[in-house]
Amino acid sequence: MRKKTSMNFRKKAEKIFFSFQKIIFVFLLIINSITLKEAAIYHSSHHRMCVNLSFEAILIAFSLGCKAIVLICQDLFSVISKQKSVKMAYILIMISSIFLIIFLTNLGAEYLSSVSSYIHCNVESGGGLNCLGVSAIYRTSFCLFILHLLIFLCCLLRDDNSRKINEELWVIKIFLFLIMLFFSFYIPNDFFEIYANLAKIIGLVFIVFQIIMMIDIFYLWGEKLAANYVENPLWGYWLLGTTIIFYTGTFLLNFYSFSWFTANSSLNSFMIILNLILILANSLLSISGIARNGSLLTSGGISLYETFILWTGLANSPKESNEFFQSHSPLNTEIFFGCLIIVISLAYMSFHQDYLGEKNESQDQNDLEKKADEQAPLKINDANININDVNVNNMDIIQEKLTKRIYSDSNIYVYFHIIMMVSSFFLAMLFTNWGAPDLTQQIVFSYNPNNLKYWIQIISSWTVMGIYIWTLVAPKILTNREFD
């Protein structure tokens, strides 16, 4: 049985590996198409012909991207459970929304100018295509929020209609999102000013969620490598190398932050020194006898993550103490890694059984698979299922009953869509540097320092360290509780 499980895991890993190969291939195709577009516009004297050429290149890249996404979905969804595949589909919609935001804020005005008589903004938003700048970010975020809100309300029905709406009708849901986005350009900017202020508050909730997910990920990373090292000493090189990379990146980022942000700013100097002290404290604590589950690899990964958050805050310092003042580099870097962390956090939440109340349902699924393999007696945890129904010939019927139970008796998808709604608000804050640019501004990626963002990121970095240190000392303090 163990050998069969190992072989199945190897096959799944190979499929996922080839899926990521396809992702890289698609990205290379898109980058190549965009490069051809820029070269054509730069070198040709016939602007209209060049725009047509570039537009065709974008369409080719988009077509190839769509085909690859279908192949990726087929590979990934064939090796994971239905629950997880549904969640991953919604995460793919989130990723698509990110690319849509980048398109609307960078290339939208150029490629939609020919159809501006059909696609345009209302007078209150500036008219023409003036709402394709900063306000397009809020409009996309708002439509993504409404989409998950509607599905969330449907899940509250707790019947078979909830399942159909949540797990099926993908073409209709995507079409609905695009229709909402189209009509959102007729909504005045005054509404999105209110939405931006609301996003500043709700976005804080997602920061806490993201911090918890990242801490858990680094814990799992350290535990897995340590377990592999016990079985095979060669894994020790990976364990040591990863730890060195984490700490090297952490101290280099702190070192350069001194030269980037401490001129004429004693406050920034204090923040960096305090950060180094906290890094040293959690590192020593993780290898002490107090921390039962601590490791230098986990501490190094969390230190690097926390230092990156601190850096994004310091990049919002005033002009006299900020070498990146009004530079596009910090925001582009933060958006790239910020989007990556969003996807990783949501994917980890979707795959991890301890979140969203999935543990019992996963146990039921494991019991079903065990029955199919061994024909052994089966006990379904708290499920209203006749034990006589369980045999190889009617596994589909049992699976259907378990699926219905997910909607009638649990809140798995209710919690999931709540988190997706919160992430929609945070997405708007990530791309606008927490509301720094004006809604009518067209250029999004010129960095506008934001004092609010400064303190949000500073406090977030302290929160990372506080939660991590608490996880190290809590088992020692609260001895009557289980922390495994």
The yes-or-no verdict on residue 65 having pLDDT over 50 is: no
pLDDT at residue 395 in the model: 52
| Number of continuous H segments (helices) and E segments (strands) in the chain | 16, 0
Q: Which residue has the higher pLDDT, 405 or 11?
A: 405
For the record, the structure tokens of 384 come out as 């209203």
Q: Is residue 464 over pLDDT 70?
A: yes
The percent of residues above 70 in pLDDT, for the chain, comes to 64
pLDDT number for residue 399:
54
What separation in angstroms does the CA of 357 have from each of 145, 323, 350, 353, 381? 23, 46, 11, 7, 14
- Across the chain, what does the average pLDDT equal? 75
- At residue 387 the predicted structure's pLDDT band, cuts being 50, 70 and 90, is very low
User: pTM for the full model?
Assistant: 0.76
* pLDDT at residue 443 in the model: 59
- Specify which of 62-71, 250-259, 350-359, 383-392 reaches the highest per-range mean pLDDT: 250-259
pLDDT for 267-314, tens place per residue?
A: 999 999 999 999 999 999 988 877 777 788 999 999 999 999 999 999
CA 142 to CA 424: how far, in whole Å? Answer: 7
Q: How many CB atoms lie within 10 A of CB 320?
A: 9
Q: What is the pLDDT of residues 13-47, one digit of tens each?
A: 445 444 544 554 544 454 444 444 444 444 444 44
**What φ, ψ does residue 56 adopt, rounded to 5°?**
-65, -40
Sign of CA pseudo-dihedral 77, 427, 143, 63: negative
